[in-house]
Structure 1
Amino acid sequence: MKAMILAAGYGKRMRPLTDHTPKPLLQAGGKALIEYHIEKLRDAGIESLVINSGWLGDRLADALGDGSRYGIAIAWSHEGTPLETAGGIRHALPLLGDQPFVLVNGDIWTDFDFAPLLAPRRDPVHLVLVNNPEHHREGDFHLTEGGRLRDNGDPRLTYAGIGRFDPALFADLPEGEAKLAPLLRAAMAEDAVSGEHHTGQWWDVGTPERLAELDRLLTRC
């Protein structure tokens, strides 16, 4: 199975740290954020990675290369202007192929075990959810006791930026900018989305303060 790491954002909330460094290359615990994903996906059994790039994408590609030093092949989907999540996936479909793939946001850190996502599933979408962080208390979706995701209902949890997707979900999108949320809600309306609740470590590294806090945590470990 392949995986895609989303790494094309501008990282505006992280400025000035991202003025000259792409956000996924910012370090915590002595390692770039994206390197944690690469290593965990490789160890889970992912065969190859697709990484999309936008802002300072040449620096990202220069730093990570073809993945040989990590023991996993990396292919690059260069966007120029970021296309949002769904648009970026649509643009990368020729690299992803026609089989389900794992998707990970490049600006999170987690101890989530990716290996179970590689197991066969009947649903075209499976999302990982986490407890609502302080900066997103309202959450995103409701997870039923049966493991189904709904756009309505309480309590609500937050989408972790981790999931497994069938590429057919994106095949009919026109090339260009497109958000993921409308596709997810449409799939939920068809009862085509399953989910799970990860209660371990998960960090949305969206500000310099959160990055510094994560760095302190990982340095102590």
Structure 2
Amino acid sequence: MSHNWEKILVSSSDTIRSVLRTIDQQAFKLALVVDREDKLLGTVSDGDIRRAILSDASLKDEVATVMNTNPTTADTSMTRESILSLMERRELHSIPVLNNQVVVGLETLHGLLHKPQYENPVFLMAGGFGTRLKPLTDNCPKPLLKVGERPILETVILSFIRSGFTNFYISTHYLPEMIQNTIGDGSRWGVKIQYIHEDTPLGTGGALGLLPEDLPDLPVIVMNGDVLTKINFEEVLAFHNSKQSNATMCVREFEYQVPFGVIEAKDLKITDIVEKPTYRFHVNAGIYVINKSLISQVKKEEYLDMPTLFESHIGNDAHVYPFHEYWLDIGRMDDFKRAQVDILTLSL
């Protein structure tokens, strides 16, 4: 998806002249007319303006008078192949991507045709009980709770698909049949999804031991199935490979302000007083890249959490990947409520 699409958003009250300047300055040959909430009202191409001028329109007229009010659009749930097919049928070079009518991106024909595909397996953890989200999870596994119009897990899978990943494994334990029946085998998105069932919870690290031995000899991206994020998975993978890492943990900066004055002392004598200091830490974001050689060392059916797995490689070939993109771990009810708001403006 193009990174510069926000530069072609215009208002319906903008003049044709100003919109023409916007189109000329960008490479898309298109402007997207939106309201104050970025909901799409229409599109304007240089061809639309040219035809309007030939019909005696003035460059001082509002662009709303010449925009296409029924443009072809894509939804965030559509796969690369379906968008390409739509663009081919309509003979389009670009197409706005919407989420509940809000513009969240722009796909271009050039970008889609040159997007790489990755054979690296993606392993998603979806076996938790979601205890802190009761009663919502009494009869529904947390990864299937809907954020917006889709289950959390489906949103996670679609974000990987848009990044070029096609080979998925999902770890289940609580209500596994419901997850399999809802998500399916991936054929509706043109990808492959396989399921791994934990008879007893094994932890994120222990679940790795259940992956099949015939995995391709490529790093595996491991992620909790209840995380919403805008992290660039391709860049994470490139970082892991460039560092020749055996295990990479994605981390976020966490900021905590002490609500009191902190007193520093030595031999009971005050040496400093710091009023309400702020401390910053890197915290585990629940996103990892693990080499197959390390996965093969994990014992089957033995509990192992991911921090313990990383501890055995501290100082050797384990790295952290700090990132600043959007990230939300939906662990509590407040997180779930926040996700319902965030999803309206995120390209997820």
SS in 1 for 2:335: helix
Note the C-alpha offset of 1:129.
0.8
Kept after mapping to 2: 8 A contact 1:112/1:201:
yes
The runs of 5 or more residues in structure 2 that have no matched partner are 1-119, 257-278
Per the alignment, residue 248 of structure 2 pairs with 126
Per the alignment, residue 178 of structure 1 pairs with 304
Q: 1:187 to 1:207 in 2, by over 3 A?
A: same
Note the C-alpha offset of 1:167.
2.3
C-alpha distance after superposition, 1:94-140 (max 9, x if no partner): 36444211111111111111122343341111221112277xxxxxx
Distance 1:207 1:181 in 2: 21
The code of the aligned residue for 1:90 comes to G
Report runs of 4+ in structure 1 exceeding 4 Å deviation: none
Distance 2:306 2:201 in 1: 13
Aligned residues: 201
The code of the aligned residue for 1:164 comes to V
Kept after mapping to 1: 8 A contact 2:254/2:280:
no
Per the alignment, residue 166 of structure 2 pairs with 47
Matches within 5 A, 1:21-170: 21-94=140-213, 96-119=215-238, 120-121=241-242, 122-132=244-254, 156-170=281-295
Distance 1:48 1:132 in 2: 32
The runs of 5 or more residues in structure 1 that have no matched partner are 135-153
Distance 1:96 1:60 in 2: 23
Kept after mapping to 2: 8 A contact 1:50/1:96:
no
Kept after mapping to 1: 8 A contact 2:219/2:291:
yes
Per the alignment, residue 189 of structure 1 pairs with 315
1:13 correspondence with 2:132: yes
Higher relative contact order by CA 8 Å / sep ≥ 6: 1 or 2? 1
Pick aligned residue for 2:338 from 207, 213, 221: 213
Bigger radius of gyration, 1 or 2?
2
Note the C-alpha offset of 1:43.
1.5
The code of the aligned residue for 2:305 comes to K
Give the share of equivalent positions with the same residue, in percent: 25
Note the C-alpha offset of 1:180.
1.5
Distance 2:342 2:245 in 1: 36
Per the alignment, residue 142 of structure 1 pairs with none
Q: 1:208 to 1:155 in 2, by over 3 A?
A: closer
Q: 1:95 to 1:10 in 2, by over 3 A?
A: farther
Distance 1:11 1:63 in 2: 18
Note the C-alpha offset of 1:173.
2.7
Per the alignment, residue 329 of structure 2 pairs with 204
Kept after mapping to 2: 8 A contact 1:105/1:162:
yes
- Root-mean-square deviation over aligned CA pairs: 1.9
TM-score (norm 2): 0.54
